[in-house]
């Protein structure tokens, strides 16, 4: 399936008010990785200084780079499709949803980049990679003075800290809004993130195959 065919297939879902399986996969995989990273980061913060903590931060950084890679693919995918029309974008809920989504995209890039900066200021020979497959270089900070490296570390750590806290506060709001849509407004926002059966109208791209009538 080429890109054009994939877009047409996904739009078939969107015309029926559903998210495509590609969009759903991006959402839940990245949500799981983000929640894991938040928990893993706090766990590492409580660990004593040593080799295990160092390896842990390497893993943490590599997962962050994987999130940034997936975020790039997801941003490209969203730029190619319209998405289901489930929320009035001009309403308060629509504007709030857009604001939350914008913040998540910022965090997909700002957290890995600040983590990459922190890792690159540490004296180490451990390599980085995306998903353990694609090699990823350290920033060339070893050529800078120790004082400048220290300032970069402090800047990156402060940025990382505040983005983590804001994201932790936003996630419950995001989840709560989805439940509100389902319980109070009774619309299709939340069910569309779980329904992978696709459109059921004949002739719509992405529809399930027509069944022959039983004689």
pLDDT score for 98: 82
- C-beta contacts of 165-171 below 8 A and 24+ residues apart: 166/103, 166/107, 167/34, 167/38, 167/103, 167/104, 167/107, 167/111, 168/38, 170/100, 170/103, 170/104, 171/34, 171/35
pLDDT score for 16: 77
- Decide if pLDDT at 104 tops 80: yes
Between 177 and 104, whose confidence is greater? 104
pLDDT tens string 185-197: 666 666 666 665 5
Average pLDDT score over residue span 169-196: 71
Average pLDDT score over residue span 144-153: 92
pLDDT score for 97: 77
pLDDT score for 195: 62
pLDDT score for 61: 94
pLDDT score for 213: 37
Least confident range of 34-38, 62-66, 79-83, 117-121: 79-83
Average pLDDT score over residue span 118-135: 87
Average pLDDT of the chain, as a whole number: 82
Confidence of residue 166 (pLDDT cuts 50, 70, 90): very high
Going from the N-terminus, what domains does the chain have, and what CATH number goes with each? 3-193 (1.20.950)
Cβ within 8 Å of residue 24, ≥6 positions away? 193, 194, 196
pLDDT score for 132: 83
pLDDT score for 123: 79
Q: Which residues on adjacent β-strands are paired with residue 130? A: 134
pLDDT score for 18: 77
């Amino acid at each position: 399936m080429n890109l054009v065919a994939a877009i047409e297939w996904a739009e078939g879902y969107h015309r029926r008010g559903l998210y495509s399986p590609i969009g759903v996969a991006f959402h839940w995989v990245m949500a799981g990785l983000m929640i894991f990273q938040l928990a893993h980061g706090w766990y590492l913060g409580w660990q004593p200084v040593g080799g295990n903590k160092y390896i842990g931060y390497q893993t943490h950084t590599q997962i962050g780079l994987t999130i940034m890679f997936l975020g790039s693919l997801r941003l490209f995918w969203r730029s190619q499709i319209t998405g289901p029309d489930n929320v009035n974008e001009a309403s308060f809920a629509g504007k709030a949803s857009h604001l939350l989504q914008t913040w998540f995209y910022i965090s997909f890039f700002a957290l890995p980049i600040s983590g990459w900066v922190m890792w690159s200021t540490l004296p180490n020979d451990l390599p980085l990679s995306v998903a353990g497959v694609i090699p990823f270089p350290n920033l060339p900070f070893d050529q800078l003075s120790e004082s400048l490296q220290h300032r970069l570390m402090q800047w990156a750590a402060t940025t990382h800290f505040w983005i983590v806290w804001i994201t932790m506060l936003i996630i419950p709001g995001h989840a709560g809004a989805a439940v509100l849509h389902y319980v109070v407004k009774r619309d299709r926002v939340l069910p569309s993130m779980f329904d992978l059966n696709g459109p059921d109208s004949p002739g719509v791209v992405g529809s399930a195959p027509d069944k022959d009538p039983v004689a």
